[in-house]
Structure 1
Amino acid sequence: MSDERNHPIRFLLSDMDGTLLLPDHSLSQRTIAAVRALREAGVFFSLATGRPPRAMLQQIEALGVDVPTAGFNGGTLVNPDGSILVAHHLPVAAALIVLALFSAHPDVEVWVFADGDWLLRDPTGPMVPREQQGLGYAPVVVESFEPFLDRIDKIVAASLNAQLLIELEAQLQPSVEGQAQVSRSQPVYLDVTAMKANKGEALATLAAHLGVPMEQTAAIGDGGNDPAMFHVAGLSIAMGQAEETVKRQATVVTGSNVEDGVAEAIERFILSGR
């Protein structure tokens, strides 16, 4: 844990879904006020999410985020003006392995993110309405993912069968080791991104960009893709509803997202005593 007296936190990187956002994807007034207070205290604040960059715009505006943000689990870092700071695409060989495995399971909806779009072959899948509500835009229906293989940002296996995704994660890990990151961003989503597309790399890159030493960084999240930033942050904070495996990798635990856990963490662990 960062020693507040010797290493005060100067940069907080926050996950979005299940962390910053309520279950209906909205921001509470307490959270907005806490982020505002954080920024007024001179602490940088940014977002790291499995979402595409274009699905972060509403939250960026509401929170007044004025530094680069990390989409696709850190695969794409975007400047405030919308220009790309860093982009990591999934290797073609890894993408082919992933698509073949996911497509073999009828209970899995296969989504590909490329060229700024959300691509799928079946728009009638039961998970589509939920994702569309969360992203704020509709998918693009394609006959094949083949034309996009050389520029894929993320592949997602979406399924209401959470146990199946756990099994697919374990099965896929050795097949793409050294080529891709595999993590469950939420129980119903299994994400596959490039090796450097992880929140730990994102935190380190953003901290260097902002001139903040790593011991003065903090990270907060709830999902399986968040420990990557926990491991490199000066202070790591797990949400109250996170799985125990995630909590064990954090320095401290705050309230759940329905209990304004992010606001609580900002108030208790970062702003207290300033």
Structure 2
Amino acid sequence: MEFSLIALDLDGTALQADHVSFSPRLSAALLAAHRRGVAVVPITGRQFAMLPPAVPTGAEWEELCVLCNGSEVRRLADGALLDSHYMAAPLILALIDLAWRLDLPVELSAGGRLYLTGTDWERLRGIGGPLAFHLNTILSARGRAVPDLTALCREERLCFDKVNLPYLPTERRAEVEAALSALPLSFAWSSPRSIEITHREATKAQGLLRVCSLLGVDSARTLAIGDSGNDIPMLRAAGLGVAMGNAPQEVRDAAGAVTLSNAEDGAAAAVERYVLKETR
């Protein structure tokens, strides 16, 4: 199959273990694909303000990106918003209430910030280990403690693109999934212990379809590469979904192929094999 677009997850897929950079091999592969007329679109759970130094850099291939698991489509060059699906205040209030009833920390994502109570921030610090990157890189730079989330969500100036439940005990997984399934929204496991919640029409699959429409690309000619639960809709919607070798089994099962792990430059290997038709 000849591909016209590469949909590329970032953390755990395109980014190296530092969560900051692309490998030279991947950068070269993406540039080669672009010069053959193939669009390259990062599709990530991150906000535009939280994109890593690897994106945007002014690289030739940079054009559009899908953010917050499909809540936004923006131009990489200037951040211009091209499409959005935000959550309304009543739904945010319902999620805050749910988190409080289940005694779970909750974060509201809006305007390049993550809002949470000081109490929840301290709870996350107490968990430490599995949240080290989130605490030390994301919250330290973009987090903001507020006294009252319910008052915050009524502020008209804020557009809520995502709600995070950043840490769930394993034994609460089924209970939380059942509660979220009863609400008009989309959700996905971004790690074995964290859930990202968005507007019902905001998934990575919907984001992929929207950029295909904007770029005039047939969705059947797309290659998607990802490693986490929030990538599953995108992997299924693409012409070919490729799971990283480091992906959980449910992600591999959703894909049409599996590449090498992130540590082995699996994203670059997939672009080389399926787009550039190269073998190593």
| 1:2-61 alpha-carbon deviations (Å, 9 max, x no partner) | xx2xxx101001111111112321322222222222222221101111111111152223
Counterpart of 1:174 (choices 181, 192, 198) is 181
| 1:107-152 alpha-carbon deviations (Å, 9 max, x no partner) | x331111132111112333257522544472311111122325632
Q: How does 1:102-117 map to 2 (within 5 A)?
A: 102-106=99-103, 108-117=104-113
CA distance 1:56–1:144, shift in 2 (3 Å): same
SS in 1 for 2:242: strand
Which residue number corresponds to residue 146 of structure 2?
A: 142
CA distance in 1, matches of 2:55, 2:40: 10
CA distance 1:109–1:130, shift in 2 (3 Å): farther
CA distance in 2, matches of 1:17, 1:181: 20
Pair 1:186 & 2:191 matched: yes
Pair 1:66 & 2:62 matched: yes
Pair 1:40 & 2:35 matched: yes
SS in 2 for 1:109: coil
What is the one-letter code of the residue matched to 1:9? F
Pair 1:226 & 2:214 matched: no
Counterpart of 2:214 (choices 186, 205, 209) is 209
Identity %: 27
SS in 2 for 1:102: helix
CA distance in 2, matches of 1:112, 1:38: 36
Counterpart of 1:31 (choices 5, 26, 30) is 26
Pair 1:56 & 2:51 matched: yes
CA distance 1:57–1:23, shift in 2 (3 Å): closer
SS in 2 for 1:101: helix
SS in 2 for 1:60: coil
What is the one-letter code of the residue matched to 1:140? R
CA distance in 2, matches of 1:271, 1:165: 44
Which residue number corresponds to residue 90 of structure 1?
A: 87
CA distance in 2, matches of 1:42, 1:265: 17
Pair 1:253 & 2:253 matched: no
CA distance in 2, matches of 1:105, 1:160: 10
TM-score (norm 2): 0.86
- Residues 36 and 63 in structure 1, CA contact (< 8 A), matched pair in contact too: no
CA distance in 2, matches of 1:130, 1:244: 23
Unaligned runs of 5+ in 2: none
CA distance 1:188–1:62, shift in 2 (3 Å): farther
Deviates more, 1:135-144 or 1:49-58: 135-144
SS in 2 for 1:204: helix
Unaligned runs of 5+ in 1: none
TM-score (norm 1): 0.88
- Residues 112 and 142 in structure 2, CA contact (< 8 A), matched pair in contact too: no
SS in 1 for 2:28: helix
- Residues 89 and 153 in structure 2, CA contact (< 8 A), matched pair in contact too: no
CA distance in 1, matches of 2:160, 2:200: 13
- CA RMSD, 1 decimal: 2.2
Deviates more, 1:126-135 or 1:112-121: 126-135
